[in-house]
Chain A
């Protein structure tokens, strides 16, 4: 792999585009209008085409104005079709942006054919060539795309920074915002205008598909990672930058490895953001699949431990022998559980001093007995409560209590006792032991 100056510029431009998009994307995702970015990025095409036909230059100021206007019109038309046509919001958006995009395509074909604005370029961009188009800024040779996107990034940062409070409240609770004098509609259209401008600036370099990806994916990932809006915005920017960097890196390395000649950087950036997103979905600390699975596993183990204690307590209650014990095999059969879970649960119970192993098998230690008594108490109080308040036959109250007993804390247990006027035996006639927490 050889890293050239042009590679550096490609990465810089990609990062500027990705971060610019991701900043605004947070608010699209939070307002549950992610597809609005999609709609606007397609719908601005007629705006571009008209501006193009009028001025015959690309990236002119008129082009931005044209795009911003059509971007706003997209949001406005969508709103109109939705409210006047009584059409579902998503459908309204679909109608509006496909129509506008088609008009744009026709305009390009018909009017702007002699200049190089082609539909493919709009969709996929041409970031590999972007660094070659240079302009002089203060005696510095700068790729035009880097300069434009730098400005857009600053613009977006200022927009999000200055209107942070207003964006937050109008995204969270537009009605309240409006009653406080922060017009949520105005903020909505301001945001749409910013999305339109950013989209236009970015998609010459990276193409509209990647623009859509960068508007949505980093923000969606950041939402899974954080609990604060500011953190979410920062995390989305970092995510976008990493996707851009990794995307180009993999675009110039991966194809050789798997035997292709070359590939498209924009495509790889979008792919990378998808891969990173998958990682986040699996690994996110609170909302990730892995963390949820671990929590479930920990919960199941706790329930198993409590069931072991409860089982030994009940055997003891029968007073068949003086100091009852159960062998590993007996426990496994009674609890109907897998060997790994049971081993884990037993080891933990022994280490915490709740269980001991004697020649006859597993026996309750005093702390274990106390804990077991609490669980049995909760179980039987719950049965009493169910029997008193609901028309359940007696043989239907054990199973629900078996589940609920593990989730009853001291407070709830006291409330239950109060509610059932502190009974001494459960509906099956079994003794409800007193609480061991005093």
Chain B
């Protein structure tokens, strides 16, 4: 806690520590502590900036194993950025991320990713099965064709999300919810231990929502750690064991019953973080 605040020295604008730090930091430390010597995902002092404008500040997180973790926060809080930085898809200004004690480049096979549905072109000429099989590409390796065994694994994953009958459909011929389930099946086909999901519940039908919840529980019961960017505050308590409240910084992180409080939500979504935003604008050279 003291460490994090002292790191702030070099930031040009003094951050208002009283409004941000104490409560969340304490819950973070209590929840994780040192009882997980090698935790599935450990983020240490990570800062991410776009064009010198920080979008994530000093993220420190140790994720517990085998939990369903929701990441919530307002638009522009840096939820997707957090995931992408953890996956080395965007550069970090500083900080370290490790999976079971090793950097991402050594642990790719252990990490699965479900991007936002809108991130791809659904008119692309591939079938649902083709897309799911992409989850196996890491295991197949460069320049080798998709073998029967891998196709079977992909089909099984598709079956698990209830889309076995749609395997041969071109992906634009699927409903939005079905497309989301195809993405989920692709992540399952990756057979990872840590999963990142970027808004899997966004604009899906009831059947898909149920299927996703079922899959999340399956992942949990088999000891997987799953981080889900989530928008619907109503369902946080119902779906997740753990929650990360994010608004450019971590406002609070810990077991849902401990940190998902009205007070923390107020801090995350309320207007109290304007100082942080002002500092970011100043660093990007934008005059207000």
Contact = CB atoms under 8 A, between A and B. Distances in A.
Nearest to B115: A175
A227 B111 contact: no
A436 interface: no
Given A171-B124, A227-B125, A227-B170, A180 B138 contact: yes
A383 B212 CA distance: 33
A227 B170 CA distance: 6
A181 B135 CA distance: 12
A177 B51 CA distance: 25
A184 to B, nearest CB: 10
B205 to A, nearest CB: 12
A387 B137 CA distance: 52
A228 B143 contact: no
Interface string B29-68: 0000000000000000000000100000000000000000
Interface in B109-133: 111, 113, 115, 119-121, 124-127, 130-131
Contacts of B12: none
Contacts of A177: 137
Nearest to A165: B137
Interface in A67-118: 86
A229 interface: yes
Given A179-B108, A181-B108, A173 B119 contact: yes
Contacts of B108: 179-181
B216 interface: no
A169 interface: yes
A172 interface: yes
A347 interface: no
A38 B228 CA distance: 41
A180 B186 CA distance: 12
A172 B126 contact: yes
Given A32-B121, A86-B51, A229-B125, A178 B134 contact: no
Nearest to A166: B142
A180 B120 contact: no
Contacts of B1: none
B271 interface: no
A32 B190 CA distance: 27
B124 A175 contact: no
Contacts of B137: 165-166, 169, 177, 180, 182
A179 B111 contact: yes
Contact of B146 (A165, A175, A178): A165
Contacts of B134: 168-169, 172-173, 176, 180
A342 B89 CA distance: 60
Contacts of B186: 176
B145 interface: yes
Nearest to B173: A227
A279 interface: no
Contact of B143 (A163, A168, A171, A231): A163
B84 interface: yes
A223 interface: yes
A88 B138 CA distance: 32
B140 interface: yes
A407 to B, nearest CB: 15
A287 to B, nearest CB: 9
A177 B170 CA distance: 20
Contact of A30 (B87, B88, B124, B131): B124
Contact of B89 (A169, A171, A175, A228): A175
A179 B119 CA distance: 15
Given A30-B125, A166-B137, 15 more contacts: A166-B142, A166-B143, A169-B137, A172-B120, A172-B124, A173-B115, A173-B120, A175-B89, A176-B113, A179-B108, A180-B108, A180-B134, A180-B138, A182-B142, A228-B130
11 contacts: A30-B124, A163-B143, A164-B145, A165-B137, A166-B142, A175-B113, A175-B115, A176-B113, A178-B89, A180-B108, A227-B125
